[in-house]
């Protein structure tokens, strides 16, 4: 059981709440770490903005860099008009980033390694794109699926491809984050598991165990890169998709 690489993804209820129509609404370890991620982000940003000074303290610098990073991303993709969506993008980015990073602690649960969580985020984002697009452009929004200047004979087929392409957005958004986080944690667990099994084999095994140990160290660093990168990709694609709804011009 200790060596089972999938054991870390098990969901265990912490507080049993209630059952409604066969659905379990218990407070699980996943819920706990979602609360922890949101709480950590809030705590850091609260500490960063508590005593604002012209020469920023260390914690204030973190807050400012964080804000600037997301604000620049939103401005670059959507223009200054897109700053209306800055709070939303910032929330999504911070939640995903903090969930990924909290998952790097040993014995901590990685919220984003469950496809339910990432799919819920992705579907919410795409639903928002559709709602914003329809609210701003009305039925003109559906011109997204009807390219201009295409012969009428092949137009239905092109439209079908465009519709599938649009529908694949939430799927790719959800699967990418989920796949990267789960695969990374499994690989890490498998390699570090080798260290334990080889180390039990005596002196030769201990020397042999040095190789998976080195691999484990390297993979841990790589996982931190992936944790940040996936949060970044998730946030920038949120911007790109919202931009489609907001600025049909370009």
Partner 1 sequence: MADKGKQDNGEKTGAEPGIAGPDKRFSEISARIAAERRQAETFQGETGRRTSSLGKTWGSAFRLGSEFVAAVLVGGGLGYLIDRLLGTLPFGLIILLLAGFAAGILNMARAAGRVPKAGDRMNDEP
Q: Which of 44, 186, 190, 233 binds partner 1 (CB under 8 A)?
A: 233
Binding of partner 1 by 10 (CB under 8 A): no
Q: What letter does residue 12 receive in the DSSP assignment?
A: -
Q: Which of 76, 81, 84, 214 binds partner 1 (CB under 8 A)?
A: 76
- Tell me whether residue 109 or residue 241 sits nearer to partner 1 (CB atom): 241
Q: How far is the CB of 202 from partner 1 (least distance, A)?
A: 40
Q: Write out the two tokens for 36.
A: 């922890």
Q: Whose CA is closest to 178, among 122, 104, 236?
A: 122
Residues in Cβ contact with 18 at an 8 Å cutoff, skipping those fewer than 6 apart? 25
Contact 219, 188 (CB under 8 A): yes
The runs of H, that is alpha helices, within the chain are 29-50, 58-78, 86-102, 115-137, 155-199, 203-208, 210-246
Binding of partner 1 by 135 (CB under 8 A): no
Q: How far is the CB of 60 from partner 1 (least distance, A)?
A: 21
Stretch that binds partner 1, among 4-12, 18-26, 70-78, 98-106 (CB under 8 A): 70-78
Stretch that binds partner 1, among 11-19, 72-80, 98-106, 191-199 (CB under 8 A): 72-80
C-alpha 85/C-alpha 79 separation (Å) is 11
Contact 86, 66 (CB under 8 A): no
Q: How far is the CB of 238 from partner 1 (least distance, A)?
A: 12
Binding mask 152-171 for partner 1 (x = CB under 8 A): -----x--xxx-xxxxxx-x
Binding of partner 1 by 145 (CB under 8 A): yes
Burial of 140 (0-12, 13-18, 19+ CB in 10 A): exposed
Q: Which of 38, 45, 175, 190 binds partner 1 (CB under 8 A)?
A: 175
- Tell me whether residue 32 or residue 75 sits nearer to partner 1 (CB atom): 75
DSSP string spanning 123-135? Answer: HHHHHHHHHHHHH
Binding of partner 1 by 80 (CB under 8 A): no
Q: Write out the two tokens for 93.
A: 């980015």
Binding of partner 1 by 236 (CB under 8 A): yes
Binding of partner 1 by 114 (CB under 8 A): no
- Most distant pair of Cα atoms in the chain: their distance: 74
Angle made by CA atoms 164, 167, 170, in degrees to the nearest 5: 145
- Tell me whether residue 114 or residue 176 sits nearer to partner 1 (CB atom): 176
Residues that bind partner 1 (CB under 8 A): 69, 72-73, 76-77, 137, 140-141, 143-145, 147-149, 157, 160-162, 164-169, 171-172, 175-176, 179-180, 225, 229-230, 232-233, 236-237, 240, 243-245, 247-250
């Amino acid at each position: 059981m200790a060596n089972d690489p999938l054991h870390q993804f098990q969901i265990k209820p912490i507080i049993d709440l209630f059952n409604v129509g066969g659905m379990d609404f218990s407070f699980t370890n996943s819920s706990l770490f979602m609360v922890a991620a949101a709480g950590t982000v809030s705590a850091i940003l609260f500490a960063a903005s508590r005593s604002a000074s012209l020469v920023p303290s260390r914690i204030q610098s973190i807050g400012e860099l964080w804000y600037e990073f997301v604000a620049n991303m939103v401005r670059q993709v959507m223009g200054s008009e897109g700053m209306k969506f800055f709070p939303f993008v910032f929330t999504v980015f911070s939640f995903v980033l903090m969930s990924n990073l909290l998952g790097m602690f040993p014995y901590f649960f990685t919220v984003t390694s469950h496809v339910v969580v990432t799919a819920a985020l992705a579907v919410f984002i795409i639903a928002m794109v559709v709602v914003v697009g329809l609210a701003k452009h009305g039925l003109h929004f559906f011109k997204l699926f009807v390219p201009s200047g295409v012969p009428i004979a092949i137009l239905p087929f092109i439209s079908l491809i465009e519709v599938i392409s649009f529908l694949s957005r939430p799927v790719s958004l959800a699967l990418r984050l989920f796949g990267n986080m789960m695969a990374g944690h499994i690989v890490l667990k498998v390699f570090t598991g080798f260290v334990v099994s080889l180390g039990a084999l005596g002196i030769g095994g201990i020397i042999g165990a040095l190789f998976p140990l080195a691999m484990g160290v390297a993979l841990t660093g790589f996982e931190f890169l992936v944790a940040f990168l996936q949060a970044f990709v998730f946030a920038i694609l949120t911007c790109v998709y919202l931009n489609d709804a907001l600025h049909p011009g370009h």
